[in-house]
Amino acid sequence: MKDKRNLLETFINSFPDRNYLITHQADEFTSVCPKTGQPDFGKITISYIASKKCIELKSLKLYLQSFRNDGIFYENVINGILDDLVSVLKPKWMEVKGIFTVRGGIYSTVISVHGKKPE
Amino acid sequence: MKDKRNLLETFINSFPDRNYLITHQADEFTSVCPKTGQPDFGKITISYIASKKCIELKSLKLYLQSFRNDGIFYENVINGILDDLVSVLKPKWMEVKGIFTVRGGIYSTVISVHGKKPE
Amino acid sequence: MKDKRNLLETFINSFPDRNYLITHQADEFTSVCPKTGQPDFGKITISYIASKKCIELKSLKLYLQSFRNDGIFYENVINGILDDLVSVLKPKWMEVKGIFTVRGGIYSTVISVHGKKPE
Amino acid sequence: MKDKRNLLETFINSFPDRNYLITHQADEFTSVCPKTGQPDFGKITISYIASKKCIELKSLKLYLQSFRNDGIFYENVINGILDDLVSVLKPKWMEVKGIFTVRGGIYSTVISVHGKKPE
Amino acid sequence: MKDKRNLLETFINSFPDRNYLITHQADEFTSVCPKTGQPDFGKITISYIASKKCIELKSLKLYLQSFRNDGIFYENVINGILDDLVSVLKPKWMEVKGIFTVRGGIYSTVISVHGKKPE
Amino acid sequence: MKDKRNLLETFINSFPDRNYLITHQADEFTSVCPKTGQPDFGKITISYIASKKCIELKSLKLYLQSFRNDGIFYENVINGILDDLVSVLKPKWMEVKGIFTVRGGIYSTVISVHGKKPE
Amino acid sequence: MKDKRNLLETFINSFPDRNYLITHQADEFTSVCPKTGQPDFGKITISYIASKKCIELKSLKLYLQSFRNDGIFYENVINGILDDLVSVLKPKWMEVKGIFTVRGGIYSTVISVHGKKPE
Amino acid sequence: MKDKRNLLETFINSFPDRNYLITHQADEFTSVCPKTGQPDFGKITISYIASKKCIELKSLKLYLQSFRNDGIFYENVINGILDDLVSVLKPKWMEVKGIFTVRGGIYSTVISVHGKKPE
Amino acid sequence: MKDKRNLLETFINSFPDRNYLITHQADEFTSVCPKTGQPDFGKITISYIASKKCIELKSLKLYLQSFRNDGIFYENVINGILDDLVSVLKPKWMEVKGIFTVRGGIYSTVISVHGKKPE
Amino acid sequence: MKDKRNLLETFINSFPDRNYLITHQADEFTSVCPKTGQPDFGKITISYIASKKCIELKSLKLYLQSFRNDGIFYENVINGILDDLVSVLKPKWMEVKGIFTVRGGIYSTVISVHGKKPE
């Protein structure tokens, strides 16, 4: 998944001394189930407190779209996104949450966190 | 963004010893994306506890309208408004929150705070 | 605003040793903007724990109606009502909240408190 | 109001060692405004944890109906009901709440409590 | 019920040639059951197209309050109000509807109409 | 079911020339399933346009309560009530509807009508 | 009320041959009761199909504000607004509706129409 | 599916000359997909106007349960139920509707009717 | 407004013989009030049945954005959009509706139609 | 798009003489915008009255998934699905509706119909 990181663009955080909260919720995430080959759908919510860099929104959109035809487990989607964004942004704190649509009558959610949230 | 501050008018807080809460929610904020040149839309909520001055509402409206054709990131909108209002009002505490409309299937929110809220 | 206080009538609180909660919500408050001369509208909610006196409801209605043609900022409406009622009732605790209708796309709320709420 | 108490009938609480919650909500309370002579309407909610006695429901209905033509302030309605029920039932804890219909554009609520609610 | 009619005041309909619709909904009607002596409660809705006179609102309120201690069946409440208002107003068309609160587990509604509604 | 009819009391319709609508909804109907002996519960709604007589509400309550320990199919409950009320009231039009609570995962409704509704 | 008409400004309807629907809903209407001197509040909805002229929105706001301290019955408010707008605009069709806030427990609505709505 | 019909029991319709409406809604229907072997779930609603017979409710429950391990398309479930019930009851009119839970992201509904509904 | 039309791009309707319904709802429309110079906001809904051409969505977005700094009445916005789209698409039928945000306490809606909707 | 049709499997309609309604709603449709290359998302609802064949649900799912990486306008998605299903099923009547997620602030809907719905 390292190549995906090249899709992520950043801009300078002009207020690095202030711990302010940024949230991006992507409602149209889709990937493919590695077991059945069937498409998966879900909502991905990314929350973070920036250090020196912020994520540029259009590049985030393209990054998330890059999963479209990947065969990947829910758990790896969420933790992979967290790893990629942490690697590129070095945030003070970040949480990635995925709420996936029903499959075989089962609804799934995965939440993963990096660092400790400043008060 | 310093010039925008001239748009902000204040009036004397007649009750400076009382820590009371003032909230202004502006539902019609619009600016321009610095990356794509496309218009952005959002709701800006400003909450504060005044010290010696209060913000005059019509001047706040004109100040927020001044962003209409600016190319600016969400993060800079919210922190810029916070900086300008803190500079003019010197409040005891202030929070600025922006909830922006969906772009490329992504909903974004930015929240920034100045000072510690008195109990 | 001192003259308005004459409009406020009270009756003896027959249960002064009990800390019970009284709330009056006035949905039809209107005054005039001191900046533009345009009418303002809002909902005023008064909550208190009485000491020796309670506010009589019809006099409260007439008192709130007395703002109808006053040019006055939201912040002064709320704190002025709080001051007048505290002066007349000497309550153990009181909160006055105003939720004002949209002006120039902006919704405003002001909340002010007197004393500490007994448990 | 002492005579009203004769209307209240009780029955033995067969489970005095158990702290269980009883609630009666009366939606059709009406009395008369002592200031204007106009009828008032409201909903009265009585919650309590019984000690040795419980209130009999039909007698409670007749008791509440006895206010129908009384001229009485909201605050005295609620505290009077609380006093009468506390006198007759000696509950471990009781709360009486009145939500009254709009008068002159004002909605009023009064809440009064006896004792401390057992955990 | 003829004496009640004296409570009803009217004012001149300044627009008698226009068939416009007037509706008054009274949420706080109460009377007494002629069978059991228990209080009844309901909502009365009066809709009409005026001829030469309109009903004055405060007098309508006092008229409806005059049923407070009357023992009377629902059916007679609704038709009696219709008869009284038709007698005093001579409207082109009128409908009176009563929605009564639950009694013995039964909810009752009565609707009565005078004349034919002009298009 | 003829004996049940003795429970039904009527009063004179004072407005026999007017076709007005009367509705009684009984939310607490209960009878017994003739097949399983299990209790059934439902809501019975009776709507009619009276001729010379109206049904008295307390007697209707007692009549409906008389089904409490009867073993009877839903279909016969509804049509039996319709037959009894038509026999006693001779209404211009009547509809009886029953909405029964879930049994074995199945919700049932029965609706039956007598006569044609006058316009 | 003729003088109020001078407040109403119009602009040329650039599409007079097209029957298109214009609706303005004013949520902050207030006037004074001619009987009691108490303030009244309501929502006024104006719908029309223009002929040669359209109503300018700011002038409509000022026109509606001009009722603020007038003592006037609901029925005359609605029909007076209809007459004034019809006089100034000569619309093909117009409807004016007022929904007024509760007074003495009574909610009132008045609807008046000029002309026949083109299909 | 003919054998299933033996599960259906009926009782005599005591009111065959009256066209009254009977509705049974079964919320817990389950069968098996003939293509994938996966369980299907749905709500079945049966509405009819009886001729000489009514369906007995407990037998209907057992009949619907008999589909539990059948591999059968939705369309055949609904039309099969309709055929079986029509065969046993000979109703004047009947409608069977099935609302099935999501499968592969697809929600399905099937509605089938026998005869013409009497007015 | 003729120049705006150049922004509109179309693509061939591959199904010209079929009368199918296309709807585009734009929630982020903004222009400027020609009277006050203040920004206006609204939702524009365009429904049509195509003849030989369909509107391309991105060009429609850019076309609607071109109003951003125009001073123009609501009525002319809606009818101007209708004229431009009709000129470019020659649809069999088209409706344009605008719901504008509150200004001075007034909510406005304008609806305009071209042609007669095929059944 | 003809090749897609091979994905569609059918089964024999066992009730061809009966006009019953079948509806499939697919909430997870996705394709690609032919103009921008960006992914599109929507809900597709297919309603029909079968002639000799019914669509098999799993094959419908795979058919809809086959659009995943196609660059195609909304209008052609809906009419293409309609054409394919009509070609394979020869239904008596069919409607296909697509509700697509917001793009550039614009929500789009397309509805297309084949044949006339039997009563």
Condensed to tens digits (0 to 9), the pLDDT of residues D33-46 reads 999 999 999 999 99
DSSP H or E stretch at residue I106: strand I106-114
Question: What is the per-residue pLDDT for E102?
Answer: 87
Preferred mutation among B28, B29, B57, B69 to probe I, highest tally of I CBs within 10 A: B28
pLDDT attached to residue F72? 94
Please write down the long-range contacts of G77-83, taking CB distance under 8 Å and 24 or more positions apart: G77/G29, G77/G31, G77/G42, G77/G44, G77/G110, G78/E20, G78/G44, G78/G110, G78/G111, G78/G112, G79/E14, G79/E15, G79/E18, G79/E20, G79/G110, G79/G112, G80/G1, G81/G44, G81/G46, G82/G112, G82/G113, G82/G114, G83/G1
Q: How confident is the model over F46-67, as a mean pLDDT? A: 95
- Say if residue D95's pLDDT is above 90: yes
Closest CA to A90 of A2, A18, A12: A12
Q: Cβ neighbours of residue D9 under 8 Å, at least 6 residues apart?
A: D55, D56, D58, D59
- In the predicted structure, residue C101 carries a pLDDT above the cut 90: yes
pLDDT single digits (tens) E46-62: 999 999 999 999 999 99
Residue I2 has pLDDT above 60, yes or no: no
3-state DSSP assignment of residue H105: coil
Q: List residues bridging with C103 in a β-sheet.
A: C106
Closest approach of E89 to chain F, Cα-based (Å): 19
Strand H39-49, strand I10-12: pairing: unpaired
Q: Decide if F40 is catalytic.
A: yes
What pLDDT band is residue D2 in, cutting at 50, 70 and 90? low
The predicted pLDDT at position A88 comes to 97
Name the minimum distance, in Å, from the CA of H5 to any CA of chain J: 18
**Mean pLDDT on E1-14:** 89
DSSP category for residue D78:
H
Please name the residues between 40 and 59 in chain D that touch chain G, using a CB distance below 8 Å: 41
Mean pLDDT throughout A92-116?
Answer: 92
- Do J101 and B105 lie within an 8 Å CB cutoff? yes
Residue from J33, J36, J101, J102 to probe the interface with B (highest B Cβ count within 10 Å): J102
B7 vs H64: CA distance, rounded Å? 72
| Count of pairs with CB atoms under 8 A, one residue in A, one in J | 23
What pLDDT was estimated at residue F2? 57
**Is residue D30 within 8 angstroms of chain E, CB to CB?**
yes
Cβ–Cβ under 8 Å, residues D40 and D33: yes
User: Chains C, D in contact: 3+ Cβ pairs under 8 A?
Assistant: yes
Residue of I nearest to B101 (CA): I28
Average pLDDT over residues C64-70: 96
Residue spans of chain B under pLDDT 70: 1-2
Q: How far B33 CA lies from chain A's nearest CA (Å)?
A: 10
Nearest Cα of chain J lies from the Cα of B70 at a distance, in angstroms, of 19
Which residues of chain G does E28 touch, with a Cβ-Cβ cutoff of 8 Å? 105
pLDDT, residue H6, reads: 92
A12: chain B residues, CB-CB within 8 Å: none
Kindly determine whether residue I14 and residue J107, on different chains, have CB atoms separated by under 8 Å: no
Residue to test with chain E: of G75, G83, G87, G97, most E Cβ within 10 A: G75
**Reported confidence tier of residue D119, pLDDT bands at 50, 70, 90:** confident
- Chain C contact present for D112, CB below 8 A: yes
List residues of B with catalytic annotation.
33, 40
User: In whole angstroms, what separates CA E80 from the centre of its chain?
Assistant: 8
Has residue F102 got a pLDDT over 70?
Answer: yes
The answer to whether the CB atoms of G20 and I109 lie below 8 A apart is no
Burial-class residue D107 by CB neighbours within 10 Å (0-12, 13-18, 19+).
middle
The distance of D76 to chain G (nearest Cα, Å) reads: 22
Q: Does H15 touch chain F (CB under 8 A)?
A: yes
Interface contacts (B, J; CB < 8 Å)? 8
Residue E1 has pLDDT above 60, yes or no: no
Percentage of chain H lying above the pLDDT 70 cut: 98
Which chain G positions have a beta carbon within 8 Å of E42's beta carbon? none
All residues of chain G having their beta carbon less than 8 Å from the beta carbon of residue E25 are: 106-108
Counting beta carbons within 10 angstroms of the beta carbon of residue D19, is it exposed (0 to 12), middle (13 to 18) or buried (19 or more)?
middle
What mean pLDDT comes out for the span A70-92?
96
CA-based nearest residue to H94, from H66, H60, H65: H60
Cβ contact I–G (≥3 pairs, < 8 Å): yes
Element housing B53 (H / E): strand B53-55
Active-site position among D3, D27, D40, D83: D40
- Taking the Cβ of residue G37 and every Cβ of chain D, the question of whether any pair is shorter than 8 Å is answered with no
Contact criterion met (CB < 8 Å) for C28 and D105: yes
Supply angle C-alpha A58, J100, H106, rounded to 5: 115
Q: Tell whether G90 is within 8 A of chain I (Cβ).
A: no
Residues of G with a catalytic annotation lie at: 33, 40
Mean pLDDT, residues A22-34 taken together: 95
Residue J2 has pLDDT above 90, yes or no: no
Distances (CA, A) of A103 to A6, A109, G28, G50, H33: 32, 12, 50, 55, 16
ipTM confidence score: 0.90
Cβ distance D101 to G105 less than 8 Å, yes or no, reads yes
**C105 touches I at CB < 8 Å:** yes
Say whether pLDDT at H2 is over 80. no
- Over the stretch J55-98, which tens digit does the pLDDT of each residue have? 999 999 999 999 999 999 999 999 999 999 999 999 999 999 99
Helices (H), chain D: 57-65, 74-89
**Which pLDDT score is estimated for D44?**
96
Contacts with A39 from chain J: Cβ below 8 Å? 28, 30, 65, 68
> What size, in residues, is chain I?
119
Helix (H, G, I), strand (E, B) or coil at B3: helix
Using DSSP's 3-state secondary structure scheme, residue C46 falls into strand
With a cut of 80, say whether residue F78 has pLDDT above it.
Answer: yes
Cα–Cα distance, C14 to D98 (Å, whole number): 17
Question: Mutation test of the interface with chain A: which of H41, H102, H107, choosing the one with the most A Cβ atoms within 10 A?
Answer: H102
Would the pLDDT of G1 be above 70?
no
pLDDT over 80 at C1, yes or no: no
Subunit partners of chain I (3 or more CB pairs within 8 A): B, C, G, J
pTM recorded for the entire structure: 0.89
Q: Residue H1: is its pLDDT beyond 60? A: no
- pLDDT above 70 for E108: yes
Q: Which of E63, E60, E74 is nearest to E32 (CA)?
A: E74
The label of the residue with tokens 């649509």 reads A101
What integer is the mean pLDDT of I17-44? 95
Residue E2 above 80 pLDDT?
no
Which pLDDT belongs to residue J62? 94
Does residue F1 register a pLDDT over 80?
no
Mean of the pLDDT values across residues D64-87?
Answer: 96
Tens digit of pLDDT for each residue in D47-75?
Answer: 999 999 999 999 999 999 999 999 999 99
Which residue matches tokens 């605003």? Answer: C1
pLDDT at J96: 97
- % residues pLDDT > 70 (chain E): 98
Quick: pLDDT tens for I31-87.
999 999 999 999 999 999 999 999 999 999 999 999 999 999 999 999 999 999 999
pLDDT of residue C2: 57
pLDDT band at E103, cuts 50/70/90?
Answer: confident
Mean pLDDT across F10-24: 94
Q: Residue D1 has what pLDDT? A: 54
